Amino acid sequence: MRRFNINEFISLLVLILVLALVSFLIITGDIQNFLSEKSAANLRIVLIILPVLIIVQATKVFTFNSREDNSLKILPIVFTLGIAVFLIFRSHIINEEVSNYNFNNVLSHKAIEINHETHYIIEELDEKGEEYLGKDIIFTGFVYKYEGDKFILAREEMNCCAADSFIIGVKSMADEKFNEGQWVKALGKIEYNGEYYLNIYEYIKINEPKNIYF
C-alpha cells in the first residue's frame, strides 16, 4: 500500500509555485521589470520544462519515504514563493498603467512615440537628429537632471537584466520646471539650437509606470 510522501509533495508545491510565478510575470509583461525583452523571451523555455517536471514529480508523491524528512526545511521556500505570487498578482490588479493617459492635442495622433519598440530613436537623435527635425514626438520618462534651461527626460534601458540597466534620454525643454525624478508623458517637437532637443508643448504628470525599463 502506498503512503503519502510529504517530502515529494513539498517539492511538487515548489515546482507549481515557480511555474505560477514565471507564467504570471511573462503573461502580464511584468518580467520586463527584471529582464530585458531578449532575456525574457529565452525564459519561455521554462514554461515547457516545468510542466514536465511537475508531472514527473507528481508521480513520486504517493511513494514510500526513501530519505530523511526535509519538509520543514523546504516549507520556508514554499511560503516565500507563495507570498511572491500573491503580492505580484495583487499589485497587478491594483496598479494601472499610468502612461495610458492620452493628449487632447490633434497633433498627438500623428506624433512618433518613443516606446519599448522604438527607443532606438533616442540614439538616432544624437547621430542624425536632422531626420527628426520638426517632427512631433511623444515620450514618457522621468526628469533625470537639469542642464541649464534644459533637462534630460530619461528612461532606463536593460541589456540583460535590471542589474545592468543604464540611463538613456532626450534633451528637453518645457515651460514648467519639474522636480528631478518626476515622471512625465510629454508631447513636443524636435527643434535645433546648437543641439537637437524636444520642445515640450503639452505634458501630463504621471506616477511611475509599472514597467520602467526599455
CA 46 to chain CA centroid, Å, is 19
- Of residues 48 and 4, more confidence is placed in 48
Identify the band that residue 208 occupies on the pLDDT scale cut at 50, 70 and 90. Answer: confident
How far apart are the C-alpha atoms of 16 and 22, rounded to whole Å? 10
H/E segment holding residue 167: strand 166-173
Which domains does the chain carry?
6-95 (no CATH), 99-206 (2.40.50.140)
- pLDDT average, residue stretch 5-19: 86
Give the global pTM. Answer: 0.63
User: Taking a C-beta distance cutoff of 8 angstroms, is the pair 214, 119 a contact?
Assistant: yes
Per residue in 93-144, pLDDT (tens digit) is 545 444 456 777 667 788 999 988 899 999 999 888 999 999 999 999 999 9
Task: Catalogue the long-range contacts made by 125-132 (C-beta closer than 8 Å, 24 or more residues apart).
Answer: 125/170, 125/190, 125/196, 126/196, 129/190, 129/192, 129/196, 130/192, 130/196, 132/190, 132/196
Per residue in 16-61, pLDDT (tens digit) is 888 888 888 887 777 777 777 777 777 788 888 899 999 998 888 8
How far apart are the C-alpha atoms of 28 and 85, rounded to whole Å? 13
- Of residues 74 and 142, more confidence is placed in 142
Position 81 scores a pLDDT of 79
pLDDT over 80 (residue 78):
no
The DSSP bridge partners found for residue 170 are 153
In angstroms, the Cα distances linking 28 to 70, 159, 185 are 34, 20, 22
For the record, the C-alpha cell of 1 comes out as: 500500500
How far apart are the C-alpha atoms of 170 and 11, rounded to whole Å? 49
Position 99 scores a pLDDT of 43
- pLDDT average, residue stretch 150-158: 93
For the record, the C-alpha cell of 156 comes out as: 532606463
- pLDDT average, residue stretch 145-158: 92
- Of residues 72 and 130, more confidence is placed in 130
